[in-house]
Structure 1
């Protein structure tokens, strides 16, 4: 199993950054703090294409979107 684990100093920095950057969104700050504490199981990661397909989203186009 491949895991990305953060050192205690990295965890502290990630928690502080999550709280500072997302004061208006405590749910997002919580998720980032949780990732800092638990790390990331790289074996469970999925590609954006897999997620897009699962959610029924259109395939990503190579063309740049039009800007109004």
Structure 2
């Protein structure tokens, strides 16, 4: 299993950023707090196109490259 774990100093930096940089966006603050405490399970990461397909979105095209 591949897992990215943050050192205690990095965890504190992420938590500090979550509190100071994103006070108006609690969802983003939650994500940073969660990353700090849980790390990232690299085995569970998925490709952007797979996520689009799962959610019924068309494949990304040159005509609309940044449309989600």
Unaligned runs of 5+ in 1: none
Unaligned runs of 5+ in 2: none
Q: Which residue does the alignment assign to 1:29?
A: 29
Per-residue deviation, residues 23-62 of structure 1 (Å, max 9, x unmatched): 0122320121111111000000100000000001111113
Pairwise CA distance, 1:21: 1.6
Pairwise CA distance, 1:63: 4.0
Q: Which residue does the alignment assign to 1:60?
A: 60
1-side partners of 2:56 and 2:33: how far apart?
Answer: 29
| Corresponding residue pairs, total | 65
* Structure 1 vs Structure 2 CA RMSD: 1.4
